[in-house]
Amino acid sequence: MTAPALPQSEIKRSWYKRNEIAVTPWLFLIPGVLFFIVYVIAPIFQSVGISFTEWDGLGDPVNVGLANYAELFDDDAFYTSLRNNLIWLVLYLLAIPAGLLIALLLNQTVFGIRLYKSLFFFPFVISQVVVGLVFTWFYDPTFGLFNVALSWIGLGPVNVLGDENYVTYGIIAAGLWPQTAYCMILYLTGLNAVDPEQIEAGRLDGAKGMRMLWHVVIPQLKPATFIAFVVTIIGALRSFDLISIMTNGGPFGESRVLSFYMFEVALSEYGFRMGYGAAIAVVLFLIMLCFIVYFLWSMYQEERGR
Amino acid sequence: MFPTPIEKSSAGVQVAYKTMLPIALILWLLPLISIMVFSIKPDADFTTGNYWGVPSSFEFFTNYGKVFFESDMPRYLLNSLLITIPTVIGCMILSSMTGFALGIYKFRSNLWIFFMFIAGNFVPFQILMVPVRDLTLDMGLYNTIQGLVLFHIAFQTGFCTLFMRNFIRALPFELVEAARVEGISEIRIFWYVIIPLMKPALAAMAVLIFTFIWNDFFWAVVLTQGVESQPVTAGITSFNAQYRAAYHLMSAGSIVAALPPVAMFFLMQKHFIAGLTLGAVK
């Protein structure tokens, strides 16, 4: 076979044609990256900048250095929010074992099980606003089902959302409802992919029940657990809708978390203190950043493993 | 299969399991069932304290009729649609492009750009709130549907890129190589080779984004404030203020507000679940 001579046009190919493979990805990336930088990446840095100023959102920001952060140190509301954020983080993780438990219960093939699975998943599809409303009524001291149930076992009515000791736990329980549903669906999909041969091998070795679950099944569910962990942590730190709907931070600000307190400071009747709000947001961001770095590091390990 | 299939256990256990299922489901959905019951009760039941008894009359049409014809609810629902649908389309366009670029091509900053999208997607909303609100005000888009849509598209692009890129990565690369050998331009590869293969992923993503955006509350509160632009999640609070203590109407309103994503989920269940697991759990 003789090599054909390069046609004249081949030499005069346009610059784009010659560099097509190197240039195309950038052409495809530009709109998305640009949008993302303007609306997501740049605002992070702008917020950090604003946190060093005093600003009502209208006039010119006045530089105050670290004053906002210094104020945080003496702000009781900030500590309450921070404490509640930690409670949220820890208790929200209960959604993972709870989701696994429900998934194990539902991982059968009886008649109608598909419908059961979808209906168990139902709470996740509903807006958190509606979940909040539903649970507000559920806890209502005069007619809520919660207190009806309490009275059956002889306990007096508890105004969950009006009691500063219970309010955060009450809201977290409402949040756990959809989050557990999410974790359940992750585990149901994960359980589908568990290698039946390993289960059989485990059975031959005499593993049963909890031992089988712990040593054979859970290790194989690792990808599902990772995603469940990621979405639950993010969900816990993003908790805003439920608090806003159910208690609006009350009573006496006892159910605030950082995300809600920030909003209150920057955009509500407490006045438009953008600088102070931004400082709270930066603290929240730094907490999140620890997790983001961990998530990315895990993903990086996986990418390299390919 | 784990746990051991129930068919292998004794008849007693099977019966127990099958009776346990509906009971567990009812308990699980009890809060929801209760507002469904509320929403068909007449006004009188609440004044007489008949909260949990049998409704004294069936008022489904009266209550939902009020929601649809005597409140701002239809307007809020329309706003929600006008916000959600353009966002879904915008995200599909942008992220199929970014996903293609990051999934097919190897270049040095590839992984960094990918990680930028993921990291941005995880940040708490509050760190973006002040600058994004300011930017929207500056563009004259505060309290408009467009302002909200633009932000949603930008933010969701992070998640969608993660989704698309992972999906494209899992496609056989030989397809692209074969097309290149044939001398097909890169843009045509995107359009004629990759896009047709991405259809299931695009469907999954569309359902998910629809649900996320429909259910968004925070940004609706930050970027809009009136009937003319607020989506139903934010509107429901003013609806409730209007009908304070009218539990039958508030319940009916909540159900109406929650319905579209629920319908979406039941219609596109398979895609929805594939999407939620981010394709990581096959």
Nearest to B161 among A24, A32, A126 (CB): A32
Q: Examine the domain organization and report whether B88 and B182 are in the same domain.
A: yes
Rounded Cα gap, residues B274 and A186, in angstroms: 10
Residue B243 lies in a domain: yes
Report residue A12's pLDDT band, with 50, 70 and 90 as the boundaries. low
Quote the minimal CA–CA distance from B79 to chain A in Å. Answer: 16
Q: Where residue B119 sits, what CATH number does that domain have?
A: 1.10.3720.10
Residue B281 lies in a domain: no
Q: Examine the domain organization and report whether B51 and B31 are in the same domain.
A: yes
Is B244 a residue whose pLDDT tops 80? no
Question: Which of the listed residues B17, B42, B64 is the one where a domain comes to its end?
Answer: B64
Report residue B279's pLDDT band, with 50, 70 and 90 as the boundaries. low
Nearest to A39 among B122, B155, B186 (CB): B155
Q: What is the pLDDT at residue B281?
A: 43
Please tell me the least confidently modeled range out of A81-90, A165-174, A207-216, B115-124: A207-216
Is B282 a residue whose pLDDT tops 50? no
- To the nearest whole percent, how much of chain A has pLDDT over 70? 95
Q: Where are the domains of chain A?
A: 76-257
- Is B156 exposed, middle or buried (CB count within 10 Å of its CB: 0-12, 13-18, 19+)? buried
Higher pLDDT, A158 or B230: B230
> How far is C-alpha A300 from the geometric centre of its chain's CA atoms?
20
Do A133 and B254 make contact, defined as CB atoms within 8 angstroms? Answer: yes
Q: Examine the domain organization and report whether B129 and B213 are in the same domain.
A: yes
Is A38 a residue whose pLDDT tops 90? yes
Nearest to A240 among B3, B218, B240 (CB): B218
Residue B1 lies in a domain: no
Q: What is the mean pLDDT of chain B?
A: 88
- Is A220 exposed, middle or buried (CB count within 10 Å of its CB: 0-12, 13-18, 19+)? middle
Q: Examine the domain organization and report whether B19 and B113 are in the same domain.
A: no
Do B190 and A28 make contact, defined as CB atoms within 8 angstroms? Answer: yes
Are residues B55 and B275 in contact, defined by beta-carbon separation less than 8 angstroms? Answer: no
Are residues A232 and A96 in contact, defined by beta-carbon separation less than 8 angstroms? Answer: yes
Residue B282 lies in a domain: no
Q: Which fold has domain A76-257?
A: MetI-like fold (1.10.3720)
Q: What is the pLDDT at residue B82?
A: 95
Q: Is B38 on the interface with A (CB under 8 A)?
A: yes
Q: Examine the domain organization and report whether B79 and B56 are in the same domain.
A: no
Q: How many domains does chain B have?
A: 2
Question: Which of the listed residues B64, B93, B111 is the one where a domain comes to its end?
Answer: B64
The answer to whether the bond into B3 is cis (omega within 30° of 0) is yes
Q: What is the mean pLDDT of chain A?
A: 88
Higher pLDDT, A3 or B52: B52
Long-range pairs of B278-281 with CB within 8 A, sequence gap ≥ 24: B278/A227, B278/B162, B278/B163, B278/B166, B279/B163, B279/B166, B279/B167, B279/B170, B279/B201, B280/A223, B280/A224, B280/A226, B280/A227, B280/B166, B281/A186, B281/A189, B281/A190, B281/A193, B281/A223, B281/A224, B281/A227
Q: What is the pLDDT at residue B47?
A: 75
Q: What is the pLDDT at residue A184?
A: 93
Domain coverage including residue B50 = 6-64
Q: Examine the domain organization and report whether B96 and B176 are in the same domain.
A: yes
Q: Examine the domain organization and report whether B125 and B13 are in the same domain.
A: no
Do A32 and B94 make contact, defined as CB atoms within 8 angstroms? Answer: yes
Q: For testing the chain B interface, which of A125, A246, A257 should be mutated: the one with the most B CBs within 10 Å?
A: A125
Q: Examine the domain organization and report whether B19 and B105 are in the same domain.
A: no
Rounded Cα gap, residues B107 and B103, in angstroms: 11
Report residue A9's pLDDT band, with 50, 70 and 90 as the boundaries. low
Per-residue H/E/C for chain B: CCCCCHHHCCHHHHHHHHHHHHHHHHHHCHHHHHHHHHHCCCHHHHHCCCCCCCCCCCCHHHHHHHHHHCCCHHHHHHHHHHHHHHHHHHHHHHHHHHHHHHHHCCCCCHHHHHHHHHHHHHCCCHHHHHHHHHHHHHCCCCCCHHHHHHHHHHHHHHHHHHHHHHHHHCCCCHHHHHHHHCCCCHHHHHHHHHHHHHHHHHHHHHHHHHHHHHCCCHHHHHHCCCCCCCCHHHHHHHHHHHCCCCHHHHHHHHHHHHHHHHHHHHHCHHHHHHHHCCCCCC
Is A142 a residue whose pLDDT tops 70? yes
Tens digits of residue pLDDT in B201-219: 898 889 889 999 999 999 9
Is A2 a residue whose pLDDT tops 90? no
Q: What is the pLDDT at residue B204?
A: 86
- To the nearest whole percent, how much of chain A has pLDDT over 90? 47
Name the A residues in 224-243 with CB < 8 Å from any B CB.
224, 226-227, 230, 234, 237-238, 240-241
Query: The complex's ipTM?
Result: 0.89
Tens digits of residue pLDDT in B108-141: 899 999 999 999 989 999 999 999 999 999 999 9
Q: Is B257 on the interface with A (CB under 8 A)?
A: yes
Q: Examine the domain organization and report whether B59 and B100 are in the same domain.
A: no
Is A42 a residue whose pLDDT tops 90? yes
Q: What is the pLDDT at residue A57?
A: 77
Q: For testing the chain B interface, which of A13, A29, A239, A290 should be mutated: the one with the most B CBs within 10 Å?
A: A29
Is B257 a residue whose pLDDT tops 50? yes
Do A39 and B127 make contact, defined as CB atoms within 8 angstroms? Answer: no
Q: What is the pLDDT at residue A7?
A: 52
Residue B47 lies in a domain: yes
Are residues A124 and A206 in contact, defined by beta-carbon separation less than 8 angstroms? Answer: no
Are residues A258 and A81 in contact, defined by beta-carbon separation less than 8 angstroms? Answer: yes
Q: Examine the domain organization and report whether B168 and B257 are in the same domain.
A: yes
Q: pTM (2 decimals)?
A: 0.90
Is B268 a residue whose pLDDT tops 90? no
Long-range pairs of B62-67 with CB within 8 A, sequence gap ≥ 24: B63/B39, B63/B248, B63/B249, B63/B251, B63/B252, B64/B39, B64/B252, B64/B256, B66/B249, B66/B252, B67/B249, B67/B252, B67/B253, B67/B256
Question: Which of the listed residues B16, B34, B64 is the one where a domain comes to its end?
Answer: B64
